[in-house]
Structure 1
């Protein structure tokens, strides 16, 4: 059907009428999208079946990547590119009078993730398939994603995100492969053939139904699977109101990250996590047994990877299945489990290392809690042998202590590999956060620096730049991104540099058009596009960025001779619904934007844009347009970052702290091609451990700081009385936990360097070209090859 334009047009028109029940002239963009999506899915179906059959018949070792998030974005355009049929489709549709961009706009962003964690998982799936590696994703089919963000009078307002409102053309429901998940109830012990056994009785059961989505590799015949689980009622329990049971069941797969401020929300989150791992493990083990018979050598045929702590219940759940359903003893089951499961840690923030109260955990998952208790008991006995009498160490390392289950501890004890996601992050884990565990298990710890799929973030998102690269160095970079290093040979070529400039301007014009349509604000494509897009969190320090903008505005108002190259500051971020402080920062950004953008004296030089409802499809317009990439987290707090890599790959220059993968970017491009500032990680850690930081000193000794902070509370922003007192107090009364004021002067100086550097166009373009050239290392293909070789032991 995709061999040539004429065949495609004929098949497309026939399928359109058959699916929509409309004539071509009556059809809509959504009809066109559903038709094209169904054709693509049909086109790859034989490869999908053959890929799974190949894995089964060869008994090839497979990896299953368990993640609470998969931030896929739109799939149509990416799938067309990966299949190599995008040109035929685009030209054929054009001859039918259809612009493929309108079709792509009809596709909703899949509401399956929130930020970097979920986008990393999506990039990994793309690389696994493109490298012909046997790897699949396991997640939850959320009916609603995080939320749709609206900005109303500067405030974030959340609306339900409804990505499934019109169905999902890519998924296939597999109700015959459903699994049953048990909650509540009691554990009953009994003897069978002289052995003590346990069973979960009086449980409330729900059904997990899988929906499979194909993951199509670039230029290969491999089609892997993302399996998403939907929560549905089992036969209704006799002792419960039917409507209440139905509502509670469907809630399990209704929302990503339900509010866990209260116990009901905590119970729902823990339900989601167990639902994901239990359904996934039942499916994995069923498939494995069908080809291998016994589970004794499971680790030789399966690698189960848990992405952060959310799926850590895979450890006790695998133990439960092996013991209670397969009849293994504890020692045998523990050997299988700890050779099969590997774990990625994504944070150094203690609040992000999940801990579940026993009073919630034990009644909800009684058998799982018993197993976790036993894991803890045996682990603490091992520690006693290694460190007799050292109660303090054992208390700090225990899986269960002080009334909570510590999920990161369970992950480390129950896995064979623990990796960080950037060199600095992995070192901090070994030397500080997980130091005691590293001393016991030094061989478990390793680093795998994150990566992004260059096919999505360069080839698809920036076809103008991709075409220039291919014309300049050939297309090897698409298959082997390290080939981008050949661009270094053109760093002084004025023709290539000017063409690079033209590409950047064209992409800025595309983003400017979107900004005008969305906000009504006209921005100058020839201004510096300075961009910070990511989840809104205190440690990511959007606040530092906006305080600097306030300083620039103040200086321009005070000194009419002060000018700089026109700058457009662009923000995109969602704050978690219950994150009060983060929502105040969003309000501050919008209040600053309102004041700055409406001031005729300054608007020629300064614009501030907040793009609402930031998501993957918008990111595909933002990254190619950026000149400056804001990566300004408090050093030691950002595990890696992947936005920094996407900006770099599209030719933006980084202004950043020496944090996460910024350090590796700096090492790659050289000090002269990045702008760094602020405290180093060891200095931040020293302050945390020894004190000595007093934010008030910076307030009293730097007039720039005192002025912008006073403006938060003195009525500078009309109709915001009391809105920003929490920000003011956090910086002064609460001593500025993330060192915003300490790094302010250094940040201002680095921004002045950015401004000066941009004046020399050819030099700036040279820096930009070198960033692109070195970005190939940060492809997720490299990352996945490292996981495959050193952790999962899989090959194509």
Structure 2
């Protein structure tokens, strides 16, 4: 019983003695894990005494008194939240224990989702509703004069992710549990998020984002599950002797499925020092050395995505990635060996999905563990690895396709560098025959063409010599000289061996840095492709681009390895829970709430788009959501905005390719036009509230200037009495999941305007579409599939296509056809209309100066068609009945973008993992 209760009894890390820490550091790889726990029948469980035996109301009161140390008269919001959260936590642990025990008994194949990010958002509302306890908690909270929505605001967003990558991972965990799939997520328990975004003096400022201020009721510390992770050191007789070690300690976060008994898991790793305090050094007066090990270990899990602009930053980033990958693989192997003896069967019980390039060191680490720790041969280890590991590519942006300097990898992970070199050598050997045949075919085709050209040239020279001879000896001598020079200049036959060697370099995992001669890099995406059994993109166009532009030579070798799995989002969080008013209307119309589980049922809404009374109710819900957002804008910025204008939303990570800058330029033009209008013309204009949100990476100089420009435009426009409510420009700082849950339901138009071919998929476009926001966007990412589902006539599509981009970038060198509206807007920036002209000089130059950016993301090319799309939006918004009809069509048409559909495809077509529901 004590073992079973240990999961519940340990919530915060106790201070360990030096001896205990040394004992933990000396453990072998065979470490106790979750599956060592003998799970008792539910009726025997007392969970900390009484809580699970109590009803919801009694359990809240119990937690308030005994866990939070408050009483009914002292139930302040944070304490009430904590009491409710702990009450839900205990129920989650029940579901978690039962699920893990059942999976242990049935022994199904598991999917292990390795991701550097999990952007979970608030847990309380999601957990209560997935457990189907919303009514009970709503009733219980009446005693405190509170409701669940208000209580949930006491929870800080878990800062375990930054953008779409982490949010997708969170949606996937929800869907895995809801589909009864045996699956765990693995990541890092960051103490600080990337940063908390603030605004000061019109600029973004980065503040520490310590999200554990009030503790975390949703995690379960597992001090019995620890693994050693090494760094640095040397190779001795082929074995790695690390120069530094840390201890990875597990924290589990139960993930409840929707109205199912299944409760999955997100296991996060914290880094501990083997010896946190060196008393001998302390007594000797060396206070820094006394805590040096703890400081270095703490640094690994301190901050999401440390700045890698420095050598130290690169090393820390790689340390983070290896740390969680190594611990996760060790954990999985240890749990596998508790029930099986032969590691050859690992692919039948485990699949590791690498979420983008951050976890791709898993290929080398799995090899090392199998060879060095478990005694397998290289060939056997490679056979297992390449049947266990799959890779999802999420981007075509070069900076996100990680390439680690060999010197960094060899220093930090010398054994892994050795294995990567061996993997690369074997890989190149295996394809040399293919490459040689390809070169020979190219040479044969080239030789035939060259022979034809050479024969023609020889005839021309012969004719030239005959003509010169007739003119005399001097002319003939000159002609012979010319012929001799031409023959000398003729292209010599290519050396086949040289050509094969050069072509093999394009397949190599280890490549020379094209910008720094002599520096060798490890291409982690290439390592992932070579070491995986499946590689997938995340939208139809993206999957084609990675085959044609990113990995074309790999597709030649194994075309069957490449797949598409279009992203999706969980309808639970992104419609049912964040927009309960709209959800209630949908449920009423359909006569069932089964659409929350089966998103295809949303299609039955389409006939309601033709019902005027239904459209009126749809608009009423949108108006309620706009009022809620207007209040948040007032709280966050001080700006008072009307709820009558169109709400135009552009929220996502700030990046040049996402083109918030182009939107800002269009707003300058709109402001200019409004200023020039007569009062009569202004009365006919369509008013807008334009809301931006998103973080610019702390080291991303240009993105931070884009934020500053948006803030400056807002400061000018919002305080112009001539403009009033005709245009408001708002930047909401610190955009996160909870803010998105408020913003997205209020949107009427949403902007997804990345340069074609740069956005892998995007998922915010799906969330907006499901909530009935119309889309203005390019033919990029999932916009294309949204258009296919919704009907392109219902989207505002503009801009060039992906296959035109390369030529247009070449043509930009001589581009001069600037739209006058575009140049006038930039002139307003440069002349100081929005302040700080010197500060914005680089920003303007980046899209006008060949030597300072040359408009790489083609704002000038797309601006005219973007403005045409904006005019079409204004025109349609004047017809509210038609606008609402299209809004309903969006929601009805996009059930395809449920993450349940995505995960079902992964499970069937890549993972081969079967649903394992409890009876």
Q: Is the TM-score greater than 0.5?
A: yes
| Structure 1 residue corresponding to 2:900, chosen from 750, 762, 781 | 781
Report the equivalent of 1:194: none
1:446 counterpart SS class: strand
Q: Please show how residues 308-347 of structure 1 align to structure 2 within 5 Å.
A: 308-347=356-395
How far did residue 202 of structure 1 move? Answer: 4.7
How far did residue 479 of structure 1 move? Answer: 1.4
How far did residue 199 of structure 1 move? Answer: 1.8
Matched, 1:215 2:255: yes
2-structure distance, mates of 1:80, 1:269: 36
Report the equivalent of 1:486: 604
Matched, 1:27 2:69: no
Report the equivalent of 2:449: none
1-structure distance, mates of 2:728, 2:315: 44
Report the equivalent of 1:395: 505
| C-alpha spacing 1:760/1:6, structure 2 compared with 1 (3 Å) | farther
Q: In angstroms, what is the RMSD of aligned CA positions?
A: 1.8
How far did residue 11 of structure 1 move? Answer: 2.8
| Structure 1 residue corresponding to 2:66, chosen from 4, 18, 24 | 18
Matched, 1:639 2:789: no
1-structure distance, mates of 2:359, 2:504: 24
Q: Please show how residues 341-740 of structure 1 align to structure 2 within 5 Å.
A: 341-388=389-436, 389=497, 390-402=500-512, 403-473=520-590, 474-560=592-678, 561=681, 563-688=684-809, 691-694=810-813, 696-699=815-818, 702-718=819-835, 720-733=836-849, 734-740=853-859
| C-alpha spacing 1:72/1:202, structure 2 compared with 1 (3 Å) | closer
Cα shift readout 1:586-622 (whole Å, capped 9, x = no counterpart): 0000000011101111122100010011000010000
Shifted more, 72-81 versus 396-405: the winner is: 396-405
1:693 counterpart SS class: helix
Question: Would you say the 8 A contact 1:273–1:311 is kept in 2?
Answer: yes
How far did residue 715 of structure 1 move? Answer: 1.8
Report the equivalent of 2:865: 746
1-structure distance, mates of 2:87, 2:896: 35
1:458 counterpart SS class: helix
How far did residue 3 of structure 1 move? Answer: 13
How far did residue 507 of structure 1 move? Answer: 0.5
Cα shift readout 1:45-80 (whole Å, capped 9, x = no counterpart): 222112112222211000000000000000000001
2:894 counterpart SS class: helix
2:294 counterpart SS class: helix
How does the TM-score come out when normalised to structure 2?
0.84
2:628 counterpart SS class: helix
Report the equivalent of 1:274: 322
Question: Would you say the 8 A contact 1:150–1:156 is kept in 2?
Answer: yes
Question: Would you say the 8 A contact 2:72–2:144 is kept in 1?
Answer: no
Unpaired stretches in structure 2, ≥5 consecutive residues: 1-45, 282-287, 437-496, 513-519
How far did residue 669 of structure 1 move? Answer: 0.7
Cα shift readout 1:93-120 (whole Å, capped 9, x = no counterpart): 0233223333211101000000000000
| Structure 1 residue corresponding to 2:120, chosen from 48, 72, 75 | 72
2-structure distance, mates of 1:615, 1:214: 21
2-structure distance, mates of 1:48, 1:265: 37
Question: Would you say the 8 A contact 2:56–2:87 is kept in 1?
Answer: no
Matched, 1:757 2:876: yes
How far did residue 723 of structure 1 move? Answer: 1.2
2:585 counterpart SS class: helix
Report the equivalent of 2:229: 181
How does the TM-score come out when normalised to structure 1?
0.96
1:386 counterpart SS class: helix
2-structure distance, mates of 1:202, 1:483: 56
Shifted more, 352-361 versus 706-715: the winner is: 706-715
| C-alpha spacing 1:6/1:205, structure 2 compared with 1 (3 Å) | closer
| Structure 2 residue corresponding to 1:144, chosen from 192, 199, 204 | 192
Question: Would you say the 8 A contact 1:5–1:88 is kept in 2?
Answer: no
Report the equivalent of 2:5: none
Shifted more, 21-30 versus 344-353: the winner is: 21-30
2:754 counterpart SS class: coil
Question: Would you say the 8 A contact 1:5–1:92 is kept in 2?
Answer: no
Cα shift readout 1:238-279 (whole Å, capped 9, x = no counterpart): 999342322111100000000111000000000000001000
2:418 counterpart SS class: helix
2-structure distance, mates of 1:529, 1:148: 25
Cα shift readout 1:678-703 (whole Å, capped 9, x = no counterpart): 01111113334xx112575133xx22
1:712 counterpart SS class: helix
1:284 counterpart SS class: helix
Question: Would you say the 8 A contact 1:508–1:525 is kept in 2?
Answer: yes
How far did residue 368 of structure 1 move? Answer: 0.8
| C-alpha spacing 1:202/1:460, structure 2 compared with 1 (3 Å) | closer
Question: Would you say the 8 A contact 1:208–1:229 is kept in 2?
Answer: yes
1-structure distance, mates of 2:870, 2:501: 50
1-structure distance, mates of 2:181, 2:229: 30
How far did residue 292 of structure 1 move? Answer: 1.6
Q: Please show how residues 177-256 of structure 1 align to structure 2 within 5 Å.
A: 177-189=225-237, 198-235=238-275, 241-256=289-304
Cα shift readout 1:25-53 (whole Å, capped 9, x = no counterpart): 12322211121111112112222112112
2:78 counterpart SS class: helix
1:419 counterpart SS class: strand
Instruction: State the structure with more CA Rg.
Output: 2
Matched, 1:791 2:910: yes
Runs of 4+ aligned residues of structure 1 deviating over 4 Å after TM superposition are 1-6, 236-240
Question: Would you say the 8 A contact 1:539–1:637 is kept in 2?
Answer: yes
1-structure distance, mates of 2:626, 2:362: 45
How far did residue 20 of structure 1 move? Answer: 2.3
2:647 counterpart SS class: strand
Question: Would you say the 8 A contact 1:342–1:415 is kept in 2?
Answer: yes
| C-alpha spacing 1:382/1:358, structure 2 compared with 1 (3 Å) | same
Question: Would you say the 8 A contact 1:647–1:653 is kept in 2?
Answer: yes
Question: Would you say the 8 A contact 1:657–1:677 is kept in 2?
Answer: yes
2-structure distance, mates of 1:222, 1:331: 38
Report the equivalent of 1:297: 345
In the alignment of these two chains, the number of paired residues is 783
Unpaired stretches in structure 1, ≥5 consecutive residues: 190-197
| C-alpha spacing 1:202/1:535, structure 2 compared with 1 (3 Å) | closer
1-structure distance, mates of 2:582, 2:807: 43
Question: Would you say the 8 A contact 2:308–2:317 is kept in 1?
Answer: yes
1-structure distance, mates of 2:254, 2:861: 48
1-structure distance, mates of 2:293, 2:66: 39
Cα shift readout 1:737-791 (whole Å, capped 9, x = no counterpart): 0001110000000010011111111111110011000121000000000000000
2-structure distance, mates of 1:248, 1:760: 61
1:491 counterpart SS class: helix
How far did residue 432 of structure 1 move? Answer: 1.2
